[in-house]
Amino acid sequence: MKLRQRALAVAIAAASTVGLLAVSSPAAQATDSWTSSKAKLTLVHGIAGTDNAFPVDISVYRLAVGSQVFEDVTYGTVAGPLTLDSGIYWIGIRPANAPRYSTPILSRWVWLWPGSNRSVVAHLDANGTPRISVYNNDTSDSGAGKGRVTVRHDAAVGPVDVFAGSSKVISGLANPNQAKLDVPATTIQIKVALAGGGATVFNAPIAFQENVNTIIYATLDKNGNFNPLVQKLPTA
């Protein structure tokens, strides 16, 4: 089945005045139980290209079933979670309008086990080489009065430190690793700086909600500026 979509048919909205991107639909994003045969998959396009768009076609292929093809997906898209049958999937990324069976520029096999919630991210490694990374999304209970923040380093820079207010909460996070912690459900000033006292690359208030995992995908735009892409997933 081929689905023609300009941005995976998912609304991408401004999350704040600092230009964060968010996808938020709690009803659509509810986590399946571990007894379900379904799984959740988020697709993230984090490679800016030379025009800050770099449109691509993304194929999501399941063994013995067939594929969905999402066309003209542009940089900054955080789409999903899609609800899929559990199983082994092949993700292929091609330049927009490339022949469907041409060699992809990036590809990877991904296992979606029953009840899983995962993100597939196209991004640059620390040296600027395109790659695909796969992450597990933690939707477990974050506790009364608390939210969760997950930071994923998907930018072509070295390790970073993350500060909440004046406190360093994450040290030396390197591409393509992630770090997470539970935080009070309130607005917190978040600063990201190159590790070891380097330049600040992001500094803005972020509102954290109770029972929500705020996932930050750290990418760079075409000018090398730090551009966080944000997704909000409800927790149990």
**How many CB atoms lie under 10 A from the CB of residue 183?**
18
Q: How does pLDDT run across 108-146, given as a tens digit for each residue?
A: 999 999 999 999 999 999 999 999 999 999 999 999 999
27: pLDDT strictly greater than 80 = no
User: Residue 202: phi, psi to the nearest 5?
Assistant: -160, 140
Question: Smallest Cα–Cα separation from 90: which of 106, 71, 109?
Answer: 109
Domain range summary for the chain, segments of one domain joined by +: 13-234
Who contacts 13 (Cβ-Cβ below 8 Å, separation ≥6)? 21, 22, 23, 24
State residue 11's pLDDT score.
28
Residue 236 confidence class, pLDDT cut points 50, 70, 90: confident
How does strand 212-220 pair with strand 146-153? parallel
DSSP labels, 78-133: EEEEEEEESEEEEEEEEETT--TTSPPSEEEEEEE-TT-EEEEEEEE-TTS-EEEE
The dihedral sign for the CA sequence 227, 75, 94, 112: positive
Entry pTM:
0.84
What confidence score (pLDDT) does residue 49 get? 92
pLDDT one-digit tens code per residue, 150-161: 999 999 999 999
